[in-house]
Structure 1
C-alpha cells in the first residue's frame, strides 16, 4: 500500500506545484496595452470597442484597455500626455499629425515588427505612402479617403449636363465651368457646394490642395521639403485659386453655407466632398444621387488621400504586445468592420471584394478607382505640415473673401519658410 500511495502523493504535490507555478506565470505574463482613439458616441466608437473585445477574447497573455476621446480635444490630450510621458501604447492620429509625431519622437517605427512590416504588401499604396517617413513605416491605416463630386442627377439632366462615366472621362476645367454656368442659368441657387460649413481648418487644405496641384502647384517643394517658394505661390497655384475666387464672385459657390442642406435640399446640384456624406445624401436624394470623378481643373485630375491611422507611442513599454494589437486591427475582418461603419475605402486590397460599396459597379467605386489609378496625392511627408496647413487655409480663407491671390500665397510662403528655418530645416533625427 505504501508503494502505491507514495507515488500518488508525489504526483499530487508535483501537480499542485506545477499548477500554482503555471497560474503565477500566467498572472505575471499578462500584459496590459493601453489604447486611445478619437471617437465620440457613434458607430466608430462601437466598432473599436468590438475590435478590442474580440482581441481580448482571443488572447490570454495580452489585454487591451481602450479609451475613446472626443475628436475636438484629442490632439490637445495627446500633446499633454506627451509632455507628461504618459502616452498610451497604441493611439490613432490624423494624417496632418503623422510626420511631426514621427520626427519629434512621439511614435516609433513599425518596420521592426514582422507582422506589421508585411502589411506594406497588403495595404493600399496610398496608406503605405502616408505612413512612411524618412524611409520607415510609422503608421498603418484601416481605411483611406478621397474627394469626388456628388451630383443631383435630376438637376443635371434638366440643365443638359454631360455626366462622366469614369475617371478617364472626367470633366475638363472649361467643361466644369460650363456646367456651373448651365446650372446657374437653369435657376440653381449655388451650383457647387464646397463644404464651407466645415469651417476654416484642415478641410480647406485637404480639399483645395488638389485644385492647385491640378494646375501644377503644391504646398511645398517635395524634393527638398525646405521651402514653399516657387511652388505654393507659382502661376499655377495663383490661377487655380483665382478660379475658385471667380466661382464665389459669380454666385456658383456659397461661402457662407452652414450645413449640408444646400445639396440635400436642392440649392446646389453638385457637392465637392468625400465618401463620408454618402449615407445622408443617399437618404435625401435616393436614385437621383450620382458620384462624379474629380474634374481635370488644370492639366490633370488630382484627389486627396490619407486619413486617421494607428501607431505605437515611444512611451510604450510593451511594443511587441502593441504590435499584436495593430496586426489585429489590420485584419480583414476588422478593416471591413470599420469601413462599413464610416463608409471609407477599406485599407486592405484583399478587403475590397468583400465591400459592396467599392466593388465594380458599387456606389462608391469612383473613390477607389482614383486612389488606385494614380489620381491621389498624399499630404507632404514633412514635420512642417502643421505650419503648412495653417498658413494655407488662412490664406484661402482671405482669398475666398476677396483678397489678392498672389499676395496671400506669398504671405503663406513666408510663414511656412520661417517655420522651417526656425526648426533648422527639420533635420532627420537618428
Structure 2
C-alpha cells in the first residue's frame, strides 16, 4: 500500500523533471522570497490523499505551533499525482513554500535546480547519525532533507512450498546465490503448479523499475551511471556486467519463470498461490503475515556476485531556497526530529522507522520482532539511487530499456541506447557544473 501510493507521486516526476531541467539553476535563491509572512511559515505535502500520514504531519504542526509563539506553520496538502508539478511551477515563479516534502531520489535534482537550501538540524533530539543512511537526502556533500521512515525490498514466499521442493530458505547472513536462485526457479517451474513461479511487478510503472530492478543490476556489478563523478552512463549501464544482468532478466521471461507484464495486484496473486516467490516490499509485510502466519518466509535479496542490494530512500522533509525565514523553517525541522514522531510515522504508514530508538517502540520492528529483518535489510543492503540531478531522466530511460528487454529487445542495444540518451542529457544540462 505504501509503495503503491509512492509510485503515483514519482510517476509524475518524469513530467516535472522535464520542466525542472529546463528551469535549471534559474530558480535559485536570488529571486523574490516566499513561504513566510510575519512569522507564518507555509508547509507543502504530497499527502492530501493519505489521511494516516497526513494526520502525523498535522500533529507535528499543532505541537510546534503550541510550543512557542514566534512562528506559526500552516499546512497545504496536495494530491500526490499533482504534487511534483505544483512544486516545479512554484519554483519557476519563485513562490515555493518555506517547508516541503520531496521523494528522496529527487533531492539532488531539486537541490541542483535551486529549489532547496541546505539544512542544519544539529542540536535536535535525534542526530542525523542515528538515522538509516538512506533516509538522509544529500547532494554534493550537503544535507538537504531527511525522512522519518524507509521501506525495504525482499522476496516473500511460503516456507511450506520451499520445503516441498527442497529449496533452502536463505538468511541475511547467507542469501541465495544466483545459481541457487536459478535452480529454485527451475524446480518451481518444473512442478507444474505455477504458470509463473516468480512475481516481480513487471506490470508496474514509473519509479518501480529503478527501485525494483536496478538493485539487481547493481548486484551483477553494473549500475545506472558511473558514480565516480556522475558524468557518464556509457560503459556502466551498457557494460559487460549490466548486459549480463539484462540477458538474465530477459531469460526469466523466455524460460517461463516470469510474466513480461504482471497483473494489476501482484501481491494479491501471490497470496492466492499464483506465484511462489514475490519480489515486493515491506509495505505488504503485515498483510502477508496476517494471511500466511508462520508459513510466511521473508527472504533477503539474491547475491548475484557483487553482494545483495535493495533500493533506499523515501519521502523526506526539506527547506526551500527562497524561504525568507530560514531560521523559522529550521526551527520546525529540528522540532520534528523527536523519537515520538519517528514512531508515529512508522505506525501510521507501516514503514521502517528511520532510527533504532524508534524501531524499539514499533510492534514487530523491535529487535527480535518478525519485521525487524526489514530494518536489517535497509541498514545492510540499501543502495540509494544515484545522487545526481539527472536521476529523474536516468530513471525514465532505464524504465524504457527494461520494458524493451522484457518485450524481447536485444539487451546490449537497449541498454546502449539508454546510456547514450543519458550521456546526452548530462552534457546538455551541464550537471557537472553544479
CA shift for structure 1 position 122 = 2.1
Distance 2:118 2:333 in 1: 13
Larger Cα-atom Rg? 1
CA shift for structure 1 position 283 = 3.2
Give 1:345's match in structure 2, choosing from 346, 352, 357: 352
CA shift for structure 1 position 32 = 1.2
Stretches (4+) displaced over 6 A:
none
Distance 1:37 1:286 in 2: 36
CA shift for structure 1 position 236 = 0.8
Distance 2:198 2:86 in 1: 37
Superposition pairs of residues 117-128 of structure 1, within 5 angstroms: 119-128=127-136
Q: Give the corresponding residue for 1:245.
A: 250
The question of whether the paired residues in 2 share the 8 Å contact of 1:132 and 1:138 is answered with yes
SS in 1 for 2:100: strand
Q: Give the corresponding residue for 2:105.
A: 96
The question of whether the paired residues in 2 share the 8 Å contact of 1:30 and 1:61 is answered with no
Distance 2:202 2:369 in 1: 28
Equivalenced residues, count: 394
Gaps of 5+ in 2: 1-36
CA shift for structure 1 position 116 = 6.1
Q: Give the corresponding residue for 2:75.
A: 66
Q: Give the corresponding residue for 2:388.
A: 382
Q: Give the corresponding residue for 1:358.
A: 365
Q: Give the corresponding residue for 2:210.
A: 205
Gaps of 5+ in 1: 1-28
Alignment TM-score, normalising by the size of structure 1 = 0.87
Give 1:256's match in structure 2, choosing from 262, 279, 286: 262
The question of whether the paired residues in 1 share the 8 Å contact of 2:109 and 2:389 is answered with yes
Q: Give the corresponding residue for 2:30.
A: none
The question of whether the paired residues in 2 share the 8 Å contact of 1:291 and 1:363 is answered with no
CA RMSD of aligned residues (A): 1.9
User: In the alignment, does 2:87 pair up with 1:78?
Assistant: yes
The question of whether the paired residues in 1 share the 8 Å contact of 2:124 and 2:335 is answered with no
The question of whether the paired residues in 1 share the 8 Å contact of 2:389 and 2:431 is answered with no
Give 2:65's match in structure 1, choosing from 51, 56, 59: 56
CA shift for structure 1 position 413 = 0.4
* More deviation, 396-405/286-295: 286-295
Residue 117 and residue 42 in structure 1: after superposition, are their counterparts in 2 closer, same or farther (change >3 A)? closer
Q: Give the corresponding residue for 1:108.
A: 117
Q: Give the corresponding residue for 1:289.
A: 296
Q: Give the corresponding residue for 2:321.
A: 314
The question of whether the paired residues in 2 share the 8 Å contact of 1:142 and 1:329 is answered with no
Distance 2:46 2:311 in 1: 21
Distance 2:224 2:379 in 1: 22
Q: Give the corresponding residue for 1:395.
A: 401
Give 1:304's match in structure 2, choosing from 299, 306, 311: 311
Q: Give the corresponding residue for 1:176.
A: 181
SS in 1 for 2:279: strand
Q: Deviations over 1:61-119 (max 9, x none)?
A: 222111221111111111111112221111111122110111111000013x5336973
CA shift for structure 1 position 281 = 2.1
Distance 1:100 1:114 in 2: 24
Q: Give the corresponding residue for 1:33.
A: 41
SS in 2 for 1:169: coil
Q: Give the corresponding residue for 2:9.
A: none
